[in-house]
Amino acid sequence: MPKQEPQQPQYAPQPDPNAQYGPAPQPQNTPYEQQPVSQQYFTQPQAAPVQYVVMAESLKGVKGWLMFFVVCFVIGSLVNTAVFFRAIMNLSQPENVISLIFSPILVVLAICTVVFIAMQKRLGKWLAVIAVATAGLGSTANAIVMHASGRSGEDTPTIIGAIIAMLIMDGLVILYFFASRRVKETLVN
């Protein structure tokens, strides 16, 4: 018996999927297609990866902690004004003499500090440092005079501890005015 080759299955012709759009376009022989064209003209440059920049909030301006200290200086000037007038009314007590000396200085320093910080002047930083240091010096002198006169009612180690704690707090506030980026960027004029 002769060997038969396996028969391939016959498939029905499939419809052309592009038939609904009409016959396939035939290439046209136009003169511009036959001219050589530089490929560089049509190639697009490699697109660089997109980088998004997130803008940080500006540190320029009297905001945040700087605004907090401005408000503290305003309140301090009002309190020292009241302390000054109370000290005038009763000069017989020794701590009132200290208040009479330091209160007007602190009022002037606090008001000048607020004005110069609001105007974003570099001098505002130095006035703030001087005002805080003067307030610390005045409070220390007042605590010593009150303790020496026997009016504080506290023992000596407690007074010394309170003075040291107050001076540390004053030092931290002064440090803010030297280390803060907002102060460096705002108080530049």
> pLDDT per residue over 61-116, tens digit each?
899 999 999 999 999 999 999 999 999 998 888 888 999 999 999 999 999 999 99
> pLDDT per residue over 113-143, tens digit each?
999 999 999 999 999 999 999 999 999 999 9
| Per-residue model confidence (pLDDT) at position 137 | 97
E strands, the chain, are: none
Who's near 75: CB < 8 A, 6+ residues apart?
A: none
- Model pTM greater than 0.85? no
DSSP state of 150: T
Query: DSSP string covering 56-99, please?
Result: PPP--SS-HHHHHHHHHHHHHHHHHHHHHHHHHH-TTSHHHHHH
Q: Is 130 helix (H, G, I), strand (E, B) or coil?
A: helix
